[in-house]
């Protein structure tokens, strides 16, 4: 879900359901906060309506990938639906919401400067542990192996992951690694092996992530900017237009140069605080859905269009001819 108005007390909330196999939006629900008792209930209501729509169409749901929203986790558990957590959702928890604040706080303490050097490695370890594991036990084993790895110990007691997969390199610089019995190691181990963190690691999705859904949220901003107030029906129509535009361009190929080489660009996300990310440049989007809407309007909604009918439909204000203009 995304809040369609700025601030903590959102008026609207749009819940989007995506088929992660082909990256197509299959349902968009618009929920108003006053109909569900507050903005904190909009996400659950949006998911509930989307699941009811799928059930009415006879669509069976194998499992759902979402972020770490506790209310959603409890709702899916009560309905006996398999729930997986996106690495992006857990990555946000690691890098900006929960662990990040704790790791930053520890790094500012005395004799804990090394924590800051390993922060990015801890974040990358989340994706690797999730995408390279086939069982829940293996995910947890790879995550907890980080405690040994940061001490330059690459053999582990857990049989699910007994040894690191990278080649072992000898180093003479002991400052690169955490030292046993130090304050920094104790603090980091306590944070990473927290019971709630281990539970979230077990739910990480190994295959599908919600990063493409975040791209759809960026497309919504082009149709419904948050600094503009829209009525409910106007907001809903713009969400449908955004979904049509996104679905048409979801499978765009990567752009190439005149010599046939693939094109890339540098991106600087705010979450990485100045660090760059390499992204593929896509081909230009198409707008064929507008032709379908025009066909629907002129041939089905208005079978025999006349200029007066079309003018009345397109112009919200009464048409007043300008008598000062001569033919």
List the domain boundaries for the chain: 2-86+208-249, 88-202, 256-286, 287-327
Structure confidence at residue 307 (pLDDT)? 52
Taking the model in full, what pTM does it have? 0.71
What's the pLDDT tens digit per position in 102-158? 888 888 888 888 988 888 888 788 878 888 888 888 988 999 999 999 999 999 999
Q: What band does 76 get if pLDDT is binned at 50, 70 and 90?
A: confident
**Is residue 49's pLDDT more than 80?**
yes
Q: Which helix (H) or strand (E) holds 26?
A: strand 24-32
Question: Nearest to residue 57, comparing CAs of 87, 92, 12, 17?
Answer: 17
Structure confidence at residue 93 (pLDDT)? 46
What's the pLDDT tens digit per position in 249-258? 988 899 999 9
Q: What Å distances lie between residue 45 and 8, 50, 205, CA to CA?
A: 18, 9, 23
Give the number of C-alpha atoms closer than 13 A to the C-alpha of residue 5, restricted to the C-beta side.
Answer: 16
Question: Nearest to residue 230, comparing CAs of 8, 1, 37, 10?
Answer: 10
Which residue's structure tokens are 């497309």? 219
The rounded mean pLDDT for the chain is: 81
Helix (H, G, I), strand (E, B) or coil at 29: strand
Q: 82: how many CB neighbours lie within 10 A of its CB?
A: 12
- Rounded mean pLDDT, 192-196: 85
Asked: is 2-86+208-249 a CATH 3.30.420 domain? The reply is: yes
- Rounded mean pLDDT, 226-254: 90
- Give the C-alpha separation, 299 to 293, whole Å: 10
Show the tokens assigned to 7. Answer: 């601030």
- Rounded mean pLDDT, 62-67: 83
Structure confidence at residue 324 (pLDDT)? 43
- Give the C-alpha separation, 42 to 30, whole Å: 9
């Amino acid at each position: 879900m995304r809040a369609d108005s700025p601030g903590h007390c959102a008026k609207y909330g749009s819940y989007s359901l995506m088929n992660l196999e082909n990256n197509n939006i299959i349902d968009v629900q618009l929920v108003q906060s006053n109909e569900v008792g507050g903005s904190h209930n909009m996400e659950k209501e949006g998911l509930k309506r989307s699941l009811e729509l799928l059930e009415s169409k006879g669509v069976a749901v194998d499992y759902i990938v979402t972020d770490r929203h506790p209310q959603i986790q409890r709702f899916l558990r009560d309905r006996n639906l398999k729930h997986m957590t996106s690495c992006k959702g857990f990555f946000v928890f690691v890098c900006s919401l929960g662990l990040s604040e704790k790791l930053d706080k520890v790094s500012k303490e005395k004799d804990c400067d090394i924590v800051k050097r390993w922060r990015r490695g801890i974040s990358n370890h989340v994706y690797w542990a999730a995408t390279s594991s086939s069982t829940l036990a293996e995910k947890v084993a790879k995550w907890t192996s980080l405690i040994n790895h940061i001490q330059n110990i690459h053999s582990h007691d857990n049989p699910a992951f007994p040894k690191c997969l990278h080649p072992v390199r000898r180093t003479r610089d002991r400052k690169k690694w955490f030292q046993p019995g130090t304050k920094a190691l104790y603090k980091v181990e306590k944070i990473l092996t927290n019971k709630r963190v281990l539970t979230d690691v077990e739910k990480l999705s190994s295959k599908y992530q919600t990063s493409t859904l975040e791209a759809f949220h960026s497309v919504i901003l082009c149709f419904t900017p948050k600094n503009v107030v829209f009525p409910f029906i106007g907001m809903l129509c713009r969400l449908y237009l955004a979904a049509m535009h996104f679905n048409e361009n979801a499978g765009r190929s990567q752009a190439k140069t005149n010599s046939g080489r693939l094109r890339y660009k540098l991106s600087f996300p705010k979450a990485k605080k100045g660090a760059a990310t390499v992204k593929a440049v896509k081909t230009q989007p198409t707008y064929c859905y507008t032709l379908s809407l025009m066909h629907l309007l002129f041939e089905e909604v208005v079978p025999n269009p006349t200029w007066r009918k079309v003018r009345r439909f397109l112009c919200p204000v009464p048409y007043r001819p300008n008598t000062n203009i001569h033919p």
